[in-house]
Amino acid sequence: MTDLTAPTLNTTTVGEAGADERVVFLHGLFGQGKNFTTIAKALQPGFTSLLVDLPNHGRSAWTQEFSYADMADTVADHLREDFAADGRVHVVGHSMGGKVAMALALRHPDLVDRLVVVDIAPVSSADMSEFEHLLGALATLDLDDLPSRSAADDRLADRIPHTGTRGFLLQNLRADGDGWRWQANLDLLLAELPTIGGFIPDGAPFDRPVLWVAGERSPYVQPEHRPAMEELFPRTVLVTIKGAGHWVHSERPEAFTSAVRTFLTAE
């Protein structure tokens, strides 16, 4: 059920106002802004971070359709009202959030100082079967017959054997009165997976600095994607984090934080 009292976007600020650098974090599919809390804290004291729950995720409002352009415009409107009211800010986006970040930079270049795109490319993903499997597994849970969160974890163990992945997904399960509900818009996200996997560039090339962070063990950034990235973002620098998979910032937080800090503070 949509929470009609929720704000358009729910955000959390980490760090003191007035820091030298301001950075916005945009999470991936079925994530939440709080997924970047560890990184935001590690960037202190020189950074003020805005952790965003994207539409249909976390405590932000649900929508009837999925569109990267609409999501980017929603983030832009929110930033103009407050966090970026005094000028450009840095934007970091992972996976789905990386595509939102790219769309934001292309559609609203006046808002973005430096851009960090994490383990995703500006192309359509040919294979969304992993996410279809994960979200489809969540959809099999009967929330009307669910006694506890631990029971949900037990019931998903066969379909999603990895404990960390189950924990990440089940952070979206919320107690609601005497029952449970999905905080993220599971039905919409599952139905819109082809759109989520796609990407249609919209806007002139973004001519400010861009860091493209890839996980060494992840399939989402390939050498053949580099021309598409450089066509849209000609000032791109590619960094590959050794030993990391798709969730680079959670698997190798120190290396990720170091790369981001170095890039965002470079002269």
- The residues annotated with a catalytic role in the active site are 95, 187, 246
Query: Residue 16, Cα to own-chain centre: how many angstroms?
Result: 23
Is cis: bond before 45, omega within 30 of 0?
yes
Whole-number Å distance between alpha carbons of 228 and 42: 32
Torsion of CA 127, 130, 132, 135, to 10 degrees: -150
Residues 6+ apart with CB under 8 A from 55: 8, 9, 61, 62, 63, 70, 71, 74
Q: Euclidean distance between the first and final Cα of the chain, in Å? A: 48
CB 173 within 8 A of CB 183: yes
Would you tell me how many other CB atoms lie within 10 Å of the CB of residue 41?
13
Structure-token pair, residue 199: 């990407």
Between the alpha carbon of residue 184 and those of residues 47, 147, 179, 245, the distances in Å are 28, 20, 16, 24
HSE (CB half, 13 Å, CA atoms) of 241?
25
